[in-house]
Amino acid sequence: MATLLYITAHPHDERQSFSMAAGKAFIESYRESNSDDEVIHLDLYTENIPHIDTDVFSGWGKLRSGTAFDELSAEEKSKVGRLSELVEQFISADKYVFVTPLWNFSFPPVMKAYIDSICVAGKTFKYTEQGPVGLLTEKKALHIQARGGIYSEGPAAEMEMGHRYLSIIMQFFGIPSFEGIFVEGHNQYPDRASEIKEKAIQEAKERAQSF
């Protein structure tokens, strides 16, 4: 039995969002073909995802100098404890499906806060004399992203920094397989919007069966 962590960074659900619609289709199809697997939904817009702030830095500093966790301030305990829960949840999953919209060439800010919570030396990567090495070499990941323009080819391709950034993080963690499903061009070609959305939903359903 595998555990799939379904990480969504979107304030809307599948009724308003193209990426969430493709994500929902993917997960439903995945559940049908993998009924023994556990799917955990981490909704970054409703869950507590602490930012790395002065409480976090002072909490980490105290722990490093030998203070017991119970002796941290209430704020330090709550934020440092939650960050540690998030990375433990991440490393205990086997597969990851991320859903994000493309906003200003990248993903919503809560996604960056989440990435900051899971980039932890000794958990997702380690330092060696040859440089950092990823520790998640047995996992696989997929990113579903809706974007109003076309980025898979043409002049805008190099301006896309959401999928590209996530791809670098997955590589950094040593994850050997990182795929993408893109719903794209529906703002650029509004008359084709429903066709583009339906095609992506169909692709998501099919790809879920072999993920």
Ligand X SMILES: Cc1cc2nc3c(=O)[nH]c(=O)nc-3n(C[C@H](O)[C@H](O)[C@H](O)COP(=O)(O)O)c2cc1C
**Is 18 marked as binding a ligand?**
yes
- Residue 84 or residue 187: which is nearer to ligand X going by CB? 187
**Is 19 marked as binding a ligand?**
yes
Angle at 55 between CA 50 and CA 60, to 5 degrees: 95
Residue 95's closest CA among 60, 128, 143, 48? Answer: 143
Q: Which parts of 26-85 interact with ligand X (CB under 6 A)? A: none
Least spacing, CB of residue 20 vs ligand X, in Å: 6
**Binding segment toward ligand X, per CB under 6 A, in 47-55, 95-103, 172-180, 202-210:** 95-103
CB 99 within 8 A of CB 23: yes
- Residue 19 or residue 117: which is nearer to ligand X going by CB? 19
Q: Please give the sequence-ordered ranges of beta strands (E in DSSP) within 13-61, or none if there are none.
A: 38-43
8 binds ligand X (CB under 6 A): no
Q: Which parts of 108-167 interact with ligand X (CB under 6 A)? A: 146-149
**Is 73 marked as binding a ligand?**
no
Pairing of strands 140-147, 95-101: parallel
Dihedral sign computed on CA atoms, order 8, 10, 13, 17: negative
Pairing of strands 131-134, 125-128: antiparallel
- Residue 92 or residue 194: which is nearer to ligand X going by CB? 194
18 binds ligand X (CB under 6 A): yes
User: According to CB under 6 A, which one of 20, 49, 72, 110 is a site residue for ligand X?
Assistant: 20
Q: What six digits make up the tokens of 92?
A: 């205990």
Q: What six digits make up the tokens of 63?
A: 């722990």
- Interface with ligand X (CB under 6 A), residue total 15
User: According to CB under 6 A, which one of 35, 104, 130, 210 is a site residue for ligand X?
Assistant: 104
Residue 180's closest CA among 140, 151, 145? Answer: 145
Which residue in the shown chain puts its C-beta closest to ligand X? 101
Which residues fall in the annotated binding site for FMN? 17-19
Binding site for ligand X (CB under 6 A): 10, 17-20, 101-105, 146-149, 187
